[in-house]
Structure 1
Amino acid sequence: METLTPEPGKSSPPLDHHHHSKHDGAALKDSTEAEVTKISLMRALVESRDPSSKEVDDLMIRRFLRARDLDVDKASTMFLKYLKWKHSFVPNCSVSPSEISDDLAQEKMYVQGVDKKGRPITVAFAAKHFQNKNGLDAFKRYVVFALEKLCSRMPAGEEKFLAIADIKGWGYANSDLRGYLGALTILQDYHPERLGKLFIVHAPYMFMKVWKLIYPFIDDNTKKKYLLRLRS
């Protein structure tokens, strides 16, 4: 396994890193006729509201549409909220390792090859995570760094990753409800349709109590399509 640590002197990949041109042919090739039409409608709408929308590719537009069941208005609102967050939270378009040194030092997240569908695999060890002494925003930046590193490893034509959360050894000292909810928000609201599957393994009874508090905040698409819980 390779720990989620940047190479010396390097920051994370640029936010929204992709291998595609803005109007990506792959998006049109793999899209339904309805999606093709709505990608065009949504692009026109969001570009009129925020000119920086012109820099994103059709695959990103499609991910937001799919996250809102192809409702152009809802997807556009979600996307414009994402852009506002990106400009304020990650103004340099990438996260510097110096901003997340405490979380990197915990070595709690690794990347390990790809699954049979070609999706990058990440493994997180919950027992290695402790609440960030520098505050919630520092941990959120670590989450952004991790997601962007995963996205940068996706081969052309792949948009999702697979995650394994190993809860073995987790105790209340590792409990960080605000951090978990912050990570969930970043994944669902700002990186929609990126998670392919989540496996939770070796979950002790104590963790399941915390999980019950998190579960209501998970959107229906994630519950229905991606989430799998495994208990020891």
Structure 2
Amino acid sequence: MALRLCIPLRYPFSVSSFPSNTTGVRRFSVRSCLVNGNDSRKLVLKVKEKLEKDHYDLPVGRNGRDDEDMIFWFLKDRRFSVDEAISKLTKAIKWRQEFGVSELTEDSVKSIAETGKAYVHDYLDVNDRPVLILVPSKHFPSVHDRVENERLCVFLIEKALSKLPEGKEEIIGIFDLRGFGVENADLQFLTFSFDVFYYYYPKRLGQVLFVEAPFVFQPIWQLAKPLLKSYASLVRFCSVDIVRKEYFKDETLPPNFRG
């Protein structure tokens, strides 16, 4: 049976609902801190009305222009600026429609997923975050189709987000760079994956681990870093031992990180 994913975006109108950041303290503008439940409800309705008036051709329903949970999320991302939220939200909705996000299923990405280059771990990390694991040594850009790679990437992001526990809002990405070689280097795909988070899944990525990065990876990182915008600050280079000790319990450790 094909698996279709629907991400439950929560709609809690309170200051306490701001996402926590396990990698540091998130700084919000004075304006966002002063938005209370009633004000945020009014802003959501204002965005909704503007979208209906100025962007009536956008789809409705889940992840559409009338999805109040999605509107609220993008308002938070844009510090409750209505115009900025509308600008980013319309682009995200159009992208979802053009990319065919709602049509992605286990079956539609099966062939590329069978390479083992990326998957969602069965367990959460110690901070109760869904875990998206990528294995670049199994990624061959000269062989694998770029579009299929991108479809798998988006499908797995959706799948990881669908596993968010109540009250949690971020996932963690782990790049297992052991065995990485020049034949696996793909700056275009690395940039694509971070761009997807930045533009279409804002504040959903809590941290990125680059595990056992070899020397050959360093030039790729130096080229990619300025392209990743603020998300570059989420990256931590670490060892397998750090992954074992700081991010998982023995019973939840991903199989490829076991001793």
In which range does the TM-score fall when normalised by the shorter chain?
A: 0.7 to 0.9
Aligned residues: 214
Post-superposition shift, 1:76?
Answer: 1.5
1:229 to 237, 240, 246: 237
Post-superposition shift, 1:184?
Answer: 1.8
User: Using the alignment, how far apart are the partners of 1:132 and 1:67 within structure 2?
Assistant: 36
1:147 aligned partner:
157
Q: Which runs of 5+ in 1 are unaligned?
A: 1-8
Normalized per residue, the structure richer in strand is: 1
Post-superposition shift, 1:190?
Answer: 1.0
Post-superposition shift, 1:204?
Answer: 0.9
Residue deviations 1:43-63 (CA, integer Å, cap 9, x gap): 3333432462454243x3343
Q: Which aligned pairs between 1:14-163 and structure 2 lie closer than 5 A?
A: 14=6, 17-18=7-8, 20=10, 24=11, 26-28=12-14, 30=17, 32-34=33-35, 36=40, 38-48=43-53, 49=55, 50=58, 52=60, 53-58=64-69, 60-90=70-100, 93-110=102-119, 111-131=121-141, 133=143, 135-163=145-173
Q: 1:42 to 1:103 in 2, by over 3 A?
A: same
User: Using the alignment, how far apart are the partners of 1:99 and 1:139 within structure 2?
Assistant: 12
1:184 aligns with 2:194: yes
1:11 aligns with 2:3: yes
TM-score (norm 2): 0.72
Q: 1:132 to 1:146 in 2, by over 3 A?
A: farther
Q: 1:55 to 1:158 in 2, by over 3 A?
A: farther
Q: 1:206 to 1:70 in 2, by over 3 A?
A: farther
Query: 2:65–2:93: 8 Å Cα contact kept in structure 1?
Result: no
Residue deviations 1:99-118 (CA, integer Å, cap 9, x gap): 32332111122314113332
Post-superposition shift, 1:13?
Answer: 0.9
Residue deviations 1:50-87 (CA, integer Å, cap 9, x gap): 462454243x3343234334433222111101111111
Query: 2:170–2:203: 8 Å Cα contact kept in structure 1?
Result: yes
Query: 1:43–1:61: 8 Å Cα contact kept in structure 2?
Result: yes
Post-superposition shift, 1:132?
Answer: 7.0
> In structure 1, what residue type is equivalent to 2:116?
E
Query: 1:119–1:154: 8 Å Cα contact kept in structure 2?
Result: yes
User: Using the alignment, how far apart are the partners of 2:181 and 2:134 within structure 1?
Assistant: 15
TM-score (norm 1): 0.80
Larger radius of gyration: 2
* Identity rate, percent: 24
Q: Which runs of 5+ in 2 are unaligned?
A: 19-32, 241-259
User: Using the alignment, how far apart are the partners of 1:213 and 1:175 within structure 2?
Assistant: 11
2:181 to 168, 171, 195: 171
> In structure 1, what residue type is equivalent to 2:105?
S
Post-superposition shift, 1:40?
Answer: 4.2
